[in-house]
Homo-oligomer: A and B are copies of this chain.
């Protein structure tokens, strides 16, 4: 006998890489009764219907959340406030609102003031994704073995448990922490790496044409991993940096100090110092491999 679904109706606001993966995974594992999708662009809505990972699409966000037990925002962060304002009047009185955004401190700020009393807000962030974007890029297995972080910051336990069950049902491990702590940790595990990758690929893009062609040709020597990261969605990442400004600027500062120290060691040919640092970083890699996140 099949289990009762966690949510009768799941409304997905945004049907890109992550939204479409949630739709696929939630349906695959029977976690929801039906999935209703909203996307701003008609082409995305048509694609979602054609690919068949939603039961219905709505051009109006309010129509999409009407009757939904859970509403999940899967758009860039900058769209949250206007969307919430548009759909809030149509929310069920006991609906749960959640999201998948890469910064969490700003979510309560942009969503909470719009939501009626009784609606629980449980911000979330699956640590999963590829450099692909769009509804075609989603797949049901994206979240398997990956972490999903929830930052309820005072939301009712019952609502937190249901959102956690949804992620666990899609194969994720769930961790709960404060939004502030999330943003500090992700500044180093995600935001700084992306910023650095965008920078180094940008530096290469500025080279004269001939050298740039060679950089592409010989990219297998390390550079290509950065190009993959730097191919991530520009709007999403602009919003990340604008919304996690303080933590990102703080970690850039630390990174800069460390890079300057290395630069100085190269200039003064301090081989022992270089060797020591290059050895120390291996332990972190072993940790990543051991934590099965490699």
Binding site for B on A (CB under 8 A): 102, 127-129, 131, 146-147, 149, 175, 184-186, 188-207, 211-232, 234-235, 237-238, 241-242, 245, 248-249, 251-252, 254-256, 258-259, 262-263, 266-267, 269, 271, 274-275, 277-288, 291, 293-294
- Docked complex Cα distance between A146 and B217 (Å): 9
Residues of chain B with a CB closer than 8 A to A229's CB? 222, 225
Asked if B128 and A280 sit within 8 Å, CB to CB, the answer is: no
Asked if A218 and B203 sit within 8 Å, CB to CB, the answer is: no
Asked if A241 and B293 sit within 8 Å, CB to CB, the answer is: no
List 5 A-B pairs, Cβ < 8 Å: A102-B221, A147-B220, A189-B222, A230-B281, A237-B274
A contact patch SS: helix
Asked if B200 and A185 sit within 8 Å, CB to CB, the answer is: no
Answer whether A263 and B259 are a contact pair too, CB < 8 Å, given A188-B203, A222-B229, A282-B231: no
Answer whether A280 and B202 are a contact pair too, CB < 8 Å, given A231-B285, A256-B259: yes
Asked if B230 and A284 sit within 8 Å, CB to CB, the answer is: yes
For A285, the closest partner residue in chain B by CB is B231
Q: Which of B190, B202, B263 contacts A222 (CB 8 A)?
A: B190
Asked if B216 and A287 sit within 8 Å, CB to CB, the answer is: yes
- Taking the closest CB of chain B, its distance from the CB of A255, in whole angstroms, is 5
Q: Which of B198, B205, B223, B226 contacts A262 (CB 8 A)?
A: B198
For A229, the closest partner residue in chain B by CB is B222
- Docked complex Cα distance between A114 and B282 (Å): 35
Query: Given A190-B218, A222-B229, list of 5 further CB < 8 A pairs?
Result: A189-B215, A193-B222, A227-B294, A234-B274, A252-B259
- Taking the closest CB of chain B, its distance from the CB of A131, in whole angstroms, is 8
Asked if A278 and B234 sit within 8 Å, CB to CB, the answer is: yes
For A222, the closest partner residue in chain B by CB is B193
Interface pairs A-B: 8 shortest CB-CB? A190-B221, A234-B278, A193-B222, A231-B285, A230-B281, A201-B281, A189-B223, A216-B287
